Structure 1
Amino acid sequence: MPPIDDDDWSDSDEEAGADVETSVLLGTPDGAITAAADLADAAVSRIGGHPAFLPSNEPPFSSSCCKICSRPMELLVQMWCPFENSPMDRALYMWGCAVPQCQTKDGWHAHLDRSLRAWRGLRYNDAYAAKLEKKIAKRKAAAVLPVKSTPKANPFSVSIIVPNSAPFGLGAQIFGDAAPAASSPVQEEDETSDVESDNTSSDEELLTALAVTTLEESPWKSAPSYPPLYLSTCSEYLPAQPKVKLPPGVQVVDPLDDPKGAKDVSWIAEAYENSLDVDQVFERFTKRVGYEGDQCVRYELEGTPLPYASDSVLEALFPLPPSPPLPVTKAAFTVVPPAKRSYNPSSIPPCPVCKSKRVFECQLMPNLVNVLRDGDAEAKDKKLTDEERRKLVEQELKRDSSGARRGMEWGTCLVFSCSKDCSLTDDGKEARESWREETVLVQWGV
């Protein structure tokens, strides 16, 4: 679900519209992955581990190599995130380099994807495509029939309560939970009988995408990796703020009454203030993230990223509007209102294949670095076999051949994906499978 139209960003201390569900999904770690079937299933979202690929042809190993040092990087996150009403299975993969020298922090170009890279894998799902065709045909047939009046539903009836939906109607499916795609809040009654009976496979079976390729005889098998963890999802909520007593006669407009009907109203009634003493951007970031400190990923397709610090990324994505000319005489004195930053992703390069604009999809959070570091330390402390110990020593020698320590120090990584989710060959023809790199912007810190 895209954010509200008024996506102005600013740094006020108070956030209006609290105690509501936002349009952001939060990804949190949920225990170690030990089952071989889950490790090989591309529909199981994960932190660390090795990738489970969707394309039948294994992607080139260079996809995971740092563009600065050319070393293979560790997989940070893999997410199962198909688009709504798309016949394509879809997963997003993100790799990061832990060599400090590769974590350049100066200038706009240093924020582009070089030591952190994101790829999307697509694969045509024949079974689900057939199901979609039947749904579309049934909707077209229903459109020419006279509309029947239906009794008004009782909003307090337990039988009609539907779980909160995620962006683009995927619900809990977004990070690989076993939730059928047909469980979206808007459910046509005429789609629940004939279509379902025609298919012997359930929605869950249609949407489960087991990886086709195997890593046994592949360079990916020996690639450096962090211990694999499940990545689960939950909705973001903003807690209730204390009510302020107002003088008699003063009225306050409740942002929940916003006619636009958006769930995320945290951007309303904020005014940006410039400050040379405090990075208000970072303070707002820590306040928002503090509501759910375990979050490793924020997912909001076509949404608005949460900036980490005042840097060139903020200036590019949230530019200040042109300032009015200052008065030169006392007679022309005017009060200049505080400037407001508006989200403007026009600086993001378009998709190089279909030329469509790229949209914000998700961002990696600071806690992910802690989770990966802690998991790596636990894996090294556990009892290893001689073969595992030998491989670990070889891996460490390769990592530290330059004598440099390793560790990621970024603040947040913003991923922007093709808005059309195109699956095209280099010559522009439709392809049943594709492997495409997307744009990553990095905010390194304060």
Structure 2
Amino acid sequence: MPPYESDSSDEGEDYTETNVLLGYASEKPSGDTVSHLGGHPTWLDGKTAPSGALAKCKVCNGLLTLLLELNGDLPEHFPGHERRLYIWSCRKKTCRRKEGSVRGIRGVRVAKGAASKPKATPKPEEPRQEEKPQPQLGASLFGVKNGASSGAPANPFANPFSSNPPSANPANPFAKPLLSAETQEENKEEASAALPQTFAEKVRLSSPPPTQPARPHEPWPAESAFPPAFPCYFLDAEYETLDAPSTPQIPSNVRIETEAESSEKGGGKEDKDVFESSLDKTFQKFADRVGQNAEQILRYEFKGKPLLYSDSDTIGKALASHSENGTSSNAKVSVSKGGKGIPRCQSCGADRVFEAQLTTHAITELEADEMSIDGMEWGTILLGVCSRDCKPNDVPEGEVGYVEEWAGVQWEELASRK
């Protein structure tokens, strides 16, 4: 996090701007017409909805309520991809604190030809076709529409500090000439015909099955079938700024007591241990960090580190080393052999990375008009997404598909609500 010093002509205080983009709820429209807190969902193409199975709570099988819809376009990471993120929650009290009562969905549309595929070297006798100019990545970042996201607003939550993908490698003069798909298929058929039939059958039988499992396809329920929606807020976005840590000044007339002197008076180490054990340092860091921008409802940093609400629950123990509290610099936090991290993508098996999290002030905004004090009980909701931004295998390029992503919930401590 690069430090930034304010001008001496202003307040004269130092502060730090981080790479985390914060979202704030606003009743007035912002520049991003897609992202919003609460309300009803909108789809990438305005008509293609996910499978209705993704709209159901895994605990009670009832319909969920939308918490967040976020414009997830990241042209510097996934050029030609349109992305949208959704977080849903079950409103039934009996489903709280149970896995599957909060679900995350990623919508994706990959423009035709956007996937980086090796192009076959043209034969000498064939005339080289004139290639159409491709939209530049920088142009899309500055608001120029490209073929994949025509008409879609720029994503204010895209992180300009993130590293750009590496440039393509130069051509390898020692590589074998690439063959067309038809030629490759003909060669496979000829090779299979030349082999004994039994061996060819064994080869086909031993071929691995598709990596993506079959997805459920159910009609998306009518809007009237869902529970009442939360009020809808637009999102304003700005980068997180933190006050520089202050160095307390000790008055000259104060005497500092050593640990040895303190232990002689009957206090000391035992009292210190009792105090530190009763203090949840992870929660304190969460409260202090969020408290510096108290009205934030969203923290966003693709391939960043989550800010944990607790380190004593299952999620806290799994992600502690990859969080703001940990020392790991690895942005990919998929499950390791020791069971630490986020589960891998269920669609393609790739690592998942952290992208966004809701904070507790979102509850205040969503339940502002509700008189009951028995509302939502989560401290933060983390969203982990496929690092490859994969699309379903059964969705052709240029069409919209939806994939369920990992939503990790850290619940409030029960004692804190008494």
What TM-score do you get using the length of structure 2 for normalisation? 0.58
Corresponding residue of 1:398 = none
Note the C-alpha offset of 1:310. 2.8
Task: Give the structure 2 partner of residue 52 of structure 1.
Answer: 42
Q: Which amino acid aligns with 1:89?
A: E
- Counterpart residue identity of residue 25, structure 1: L
Is the 1:89–1:122 Cα contact (8 Å) retained in structure 2?
yes
1:299 maps to what in 2? 300
**Residues 32 and 96 (structure 1), Cα distance of their counterparts in 2 relative to 1, 3 Å cut:** farther
Q: Name the CA distance, whole Å, in 2 between partners of 1:444 and 1:186.
A: 33
Change (3 A) 1:415 1:289: same
Aligned length: 281
Q: How does 1:343-358 map to 2 (within 5 A)?
A: 343=328, 345=333, 346=335, 347-358=341-352
DSSP-derived class of the 2:409 partner: strand
Residues 325-404 of structure 1: pairs in structure 2 closer than 5 A: 341-343=326-328, 345=333, 346=335, 347-376=341-370
TM-fit CA distance, 1:244: 5.4
**2:381 alignment counterpart:** 413
2:59 & 2:156 partners in 1: Cα distance? 31
Alpha-carbon distance in 1 for matches of 2:352, 2:35: 23
Unaligned runs of 5+ in 1: 5-16, 105-109, 139-161, 163-171, 188-216, 247-272, 321-339, 378-403
Q: Distance in 1 between matches of 2:373 and 2:51?
A: 28
Deviation at 1:91, TM superposition (A): 0.9
Query: CA offset at residue 409 of structure 1?
Result: 0.4
Give the deviation of 1:414 after TM superposition: 0.7
Contact 2:32–2:155 (Cα < 8 Å) also in 1: no
1:245 shift after superposition: 6.7
* C-alpha distance in 2 between matches for 1:131 and 1:118: 37
Query: Does residue 318 in structure 1 map to residue 320 in structure 2?
Result: yes
* Mapped contact 2:357–2:380 kept (Cα < 8 A): yes
Change in CA separation of 1:103 and 1:132 when aligned onto 2, cut-off 3 Å: farther
Q: Which runs of 4+ in 1 moved over 3 A?
A: 124-132, 183-187, 243-246, 340-344, 428-432
CA deviation after TM superposition for structure 1 residue 239, in Å: 1.2
- Counterparts of 1:290 and 1:405, CA distance in 2: 22
- Measure how far apart 1:354 and its partner are: 1.8
In structure 2, the CA distance between the partners of 1:131 and 1:62, relative to structure 1 (3 Å rule), is farther
Q: In the alignment, is the contact (CA less than 8 A) between 1:122 and 1:435 conserved in 2? A: yes
Gap runs ≥5 in structure 2: 3-12, 116-130, 143-152, 165-219, 251-273, 336-340, 414-418
Pick closer, same or farther for the CA change 1:289–1:185 going to 2, 3 Å. Answer: closer
**Identity score, percent:** 30
In structure 2, what residue type is equivalent to 1:421? D
What displacement does 1:186 show? 11
SS at match of 1:59: coil
3-state SS of paired residue (2:85): strand
Q: Deviations over 1:160-183 (max 9, x none)?
A: xx9xxxxxxxxx94348xxxx9x9
Greater Rg over alpha carbons, structure: 2
Q: Which of 86, 91, 95 in structure 2 is aligned with 1:102?
A: 95
Could you tell me how far 1:32 is from its partner in structure 2?
5.8
> What are the Cα deviations for residues 88-115 of structure 1, in whole angstroms up to 9, with x where unaligned?
21110111112222112xxxxx5x5x11
Change (3 A) 1:81 1:228: same
Query: In 2 relative to 1, CA 280–185 (structure 1 residues): closer, same or farther, beyond 3 Å?
Result: closer
Kindly indicate whether the alpha-carbon contact (under 8 Å) linking 2:50 and 2:401 is maintained by their aligned counterparts in 1. no
Matched, 1:25 2:21: yes
- Structure-2 change in CA distance of 1:351 and 1:430 (3 Å): farther
Q: How does 1:41-120 map to 2 (within 5 A)?
A: 43-55=33-45, 56-85=47-76, 86-104=79-97, 110=98, 112=99, 114-120=100-106
1:92-150 deviations in Å (ceiling 9; x for gaps): 0111112222112xxxxx5x5x1111101112457999998243799xxxxxxxxxxxx
Higher helix share: 1
- Compared with structure 1, are the counterparts of its residues 50 and 221 closer, same or farther at alpha carbon in structure 2 (3 Å cutoff)? farther
